[in-house]
Chain A
C-alpha cells in the first residue's frame, strides 16, 4: 500500500517520523503479506503502473454506487467467487448441522469404535464411537464463528484505537501507540496463550483472548493509512473550502483509509481460525468434549499410531476454510484496487 501512495513517502520524513516509520515497519511486520503491494501481480501486464490511484475506480457512471462497482469487479474473479461460494456453503452446512449431520455429535456408538472412513461414517468414527463427520459439522460452528467474531471484535477495537490515534494525534497518539508496542512485544499467538491462561477455557474466553491478540495490525494500519491519506491533495482541498476537521476525518479520510484494513481483516479471519485451532491443540480455548476442529485434532493425536485417519477430517476442513477465506481476501483486495482495470 505504501508504494502506491506517493503522499506517504513525503509524509513520513516530516514530523512525527519516529512513530510513522515504526508504524510503517510494523505494518510490514504484522500485516499479512497478501496485503502488501501484491496487487502488482495484476498491475503487471496491463499497464497498471503510472495509473493515477483512484482516478478510474471512483469515476462513477449513472446509477453506480461504490459498492456495485466493487461487486461487479469481485464477481469477475472466478477463483475468488468459487471460493466465496464454497465458504458460504461450508458456513451454511455448519449452521444447519443438526438438520444435515447424519448422527448426533455426542451419541457414542460402542459397536462402532474407531472405524475407518466408510459409506456409513464419511470420516470414520472416533475412540468413543462418535461419527467424526457429524462432529466436524458441529465443530465448524465453533471454528468458523470464532474466526469471524474474534476478527470483527478486533477490527472494531483496532479501528477505534487507530482512528483516535490519527485524529487526536499528540499525546493520545503517543500513548495509544505505546500500548500497541506493548501488545506487539510478543507474537500474537503467545499473547493469546497468556490471556487464555488467565481467563481459562471456553468459547467466550477464547474469543476475548484471540480478539485482543489481533488488534495491533488493524490499529497500526488504519493509523498509518489515515496519516498518509490526510496528506493527499483532496484533503487539502477540503481544508481549503473550510470543511470542519471531524468532517474531513470521517467523510474524506477515514473511508479512503479503510481499504487495506478491510483486506487485512478478511485475511485475519483465516489467521484466527488457525490460531484457535492451535490454542485448542495445546489445551487452551475450546476443550475436547466440544467438537471444535482444533480440539478434535488434539484428541485424535493420542491415536495417531493406530487411527491416523481421525486427523484427516477436521484438518482438511480447516485447510479448506482457511484457503477459501484467503482467496476471497485476495479477490476483495483486487476488487478494491483502483489500479486494476474495471
Chain B
C-alpha cells in the first residue's frame, strides 16, 4: 500500500507541473497586452514599458515560464492581479474555504440522499418507488444547474420569501447555504442514485443473495450485510467522481448566488480580462483536484485489490509481461 501511495504521489508531481505549463502556454497566446491592462487605459507608453519590465514580459517565453513555475511551486506565489495588483495567492486562500464549504456540503448531501435513493430503488425494482426515483434522476441530470439555481431563487427567495437569494458580506448561518447547496448537489444525487441502483441490482441478483434468503436471513441483513458491501466499489467510484463534479459545479453556482469564492473570482477575472488571475486560479483548482484525486485513488485502491496489485508489480516485470504478450494485441 505504501508503495502504491508513493508511486501515485510521484506521478502526481509531473502531472501538476504539466498542467501548469499547459495553462501558462495557453494564456501566453491570449490576445491583448497584460502590461497595457495593468497600466490602465490612460497610461503613457513609458508607463506601459515600465510595467512590462516589472512583469518581465520582455523575457523570452521559456524564461517567463521558468519564473512562473518557480514562483508557484517553490515560493507558493501565484502572482499579482493585473487589475488591482493584489496578491492572487491571498485572494485564493481567502476565498477557498467558501468554495470548499459549498463543494463539500453538496458532496455530503449527494452521499446522504443519493445512495439511500439508489438502494430503495434497487430493492423494490419496477415498483413506484423505483420509477419515482429514476424519474427524478433523469430529470435532475437534464437540468442546467445554474438554471435550476435561478428557479430556486425565483420560487423560494422571491415568491415564498423563505430563504435569502444572495450571499452577502459577513452573512453567516445555514440559511444562506441551503439554496446553493441544493442547486449544486442535485445532479450528484441523481448520478449517485443511478449508479447505486444499477450496482445494487446486480448484487441483489447474485447467487449468494439467494443463499442468504434460503437460510432465512432478514431482508435488512441481506441488503446491508451482503448486497451493499459487494456493490460498494462502483458506488465509491461514483462518489469520487462527485468530488470533482461538485467542485466544478460550485464554481458556477457561486456566481448565481454571489458567494465570493473561487468561482466568482475566476468569472470576474474572465470578464475583466485579468489573465494572470485566470491562469493562477485554474492552476490552483487543478492542484486541489489532483490532491483530491490522489486521496480518492488511494481510497479506491484500499477497496479494490486489483488496482493495488497493478501497482505492486515492478517496472521490469511489467515490461517482461508486455514482451511476452506482444504489443497491444
Q: Which residues of A contact B (CB under 8 A)?
A: 3, 9, 12-18, 20-21, 25, 28-30, 33-34, 36-38, 40-41, 44-45, 49, 166-170, 173, 181-182, 185-187, 189-190, 193-195, 197-198, 200, 227, 230, 235, 239, 245, 248-249, 270, 274, 277-278, 281-284, 294, 297, 301, 304-305, 308, 311, 315, 318-319, 322-323, 326-327
A224, chain B: closest CB distance, angstroms: 12
B68 interfacial contact with A, CB 8 Å: no
- Contact with A311, one of B23, B27, B147, B266 (Cβ below 8 angstroms): B147
What is the CA–CA distance of A49 and B247 in the complex, to the nearest angstrom? 38
Interchain CB contact under 8 A, B306 and A12: yes
Indicate with 1 or 0, residue by residue over B283-319, a CB within 8 angstroms of chain A CB atoms.
0011001100000010010000011011101000010
Interchain CB contact under 8 A, B240 and A187: no
What is the CA–CA distance of A13 and B318 in the complex, to the nearest angstrom? 10
A residues less than 8 Å from B141 (CB atoms)? 322, 326
A255, chain B: closest CB distance, angstroms: 16
Question: Given that A13-B309, A15-B324, A198-B26 are known contacts, is A248 also in contact with B15, CB under 8 Å in the complex?
Answer: no
Q: Which of B168-223 contact A (CB under 8 A)?
A: 191, 194-195, 197-199, 201-202, 205
Question: Given that A198-B26, A282-B252 are known contacts, is A186 also in contact with B286, CB under 8 Å in the complex?
Answer: yes
Interchain CB contact under 8 A, A169 and B198: no
B251 interfacial contact with A, CB 8 Å: yes
B10 interfacial contact with A, CB 8 Å: no
A248, chain B: closest CB distance, angstroms: 7
Interchain CB contact under 8 A, B328 and A168: yes
The tally of residues in B whose CB lies under 8 Å from a CB in A reads 76
Interface SS majority for chain A: helix
Nearest CB in chain B to that of A16: its residue: B322
Top 3 closest pairs, chain A to chain B, by CB: A169-B328, A187-B248, A17-B310
Q: List 29 A-B contacts (CB under 8 A).
A: A14-B325, A21-B307, A28-B237, A36-B195, A37-B198, A169-B329, A182-B18, A185-B15, A185-B289, A186-B289, A189-B251, A189-B252, A190-B251, A193-B266, A197-B26, A197-B27, A197-B275, A198-B27, A198-B30, A274-B144, A282-B267, A304-B153, A304-B154, A308-B158, A315-B151, A318-B143, A322-B143, A322-B144, A323-B142
B204, chain A: closest CB distance, angstroms: 8
- The residue in B22, B139, B313 that gathers the most chain A C-beta atoms within 10 A of its C-beta is B22
Q: Which of B241-291 contact A (CB under 8 A)?
A: 241, 244-245, 247-248, 251-252, 255-256, 266-267, 270-271, 275, 278, 282, 285-286, 289-290
- The residue in B26, B31, B126, B142 that gathers the most chain A C-beta atoms within 10 A of its C-beta is B142
What is the CA–CA distance of A37 and B328 in the complex, to the nearest angstrom? 25
What is the CA–CA distance of A197 and B30 in the complex, to the nearest angstrom? 8
What is the CA–CA distance of A257 and B133 in the complex, to the nearest angstrom? 31
Known: A277-B146, A281-B252. 14 other contacts (CB 8 A): A15-B318, A21-B310, A28-B234, A33-B191, A37-B199, A38-B198, A44-B201, A170-B322, A185-B19, A193-B282, A270-B142, A278-B145, A283-B270, A283-B271
B29 interfacial contact with A, CB 8 Å: yes
A residues less than 8 Å from B256 (CB atoms)? 301
B residues less than 8 Å from A305 (CB atoms)? 158
What is the CA–CA distance of A294 and B328 in the complex, to the nearest angstrom? 44
- Contact with B142, one of A3, A284, A326 (Cβ below 8 angstroms): A326
A residues less than 8 Å from B251 (CB atoms)? 189-190
B150 interfacial contact with A, CB 8 Å: yes
B residues less than 8 Å from A37 (CB atoms)? 198-199, 202, 234
What is the CA–CA distance of A301 and B256 in the complex, to the nearest angstrom? 9
Interchain CB contact under 8 A, B252 and A29: no
What is the CA–CA distance of A263 and B179 in the complex, to the nearest angstrom? 33
Question: Given that A34-B194, A197-B275 are known contacts, is A190 also in contact with B158, CB under 8 Å in the complex?
Answer: no
B102, chain A: closest CB distance, angstroms: 15
- Contact with A28, one of B205, B238, B255, B289 (Cβ below 8 angstroms): B238
B residues less than 8 Å from A169 (CB atoms)? 327-329
Interchain CB contact under 8 A, A326 and B138: yes
B195, chain A: closest CB distance, angstroms: 5
Question: Given that A28-B241, A29-B240, A186-B289 are known contacts, is A15 also in contact with B322, CB under 8 Å in the complex?
Answer: yes
What is the CA–CA distance of A304 and B28 in the complex, to the nearest angstrom? 38
Interchain CB contact under 8 A, B158 and A319: no
B residues less than 8 Å from A297 (CB atoms)? 144, 146-147, 150
A residues less than 8 Å from B22 (CB atoms)? 182
B227 interfacial contact with A, CB 8 Å: no
B residues less than 8 Å from A29 (CB atoms)? 237, 240-241, 244
Interchain CB contact under 8 A, B270 and A38: no
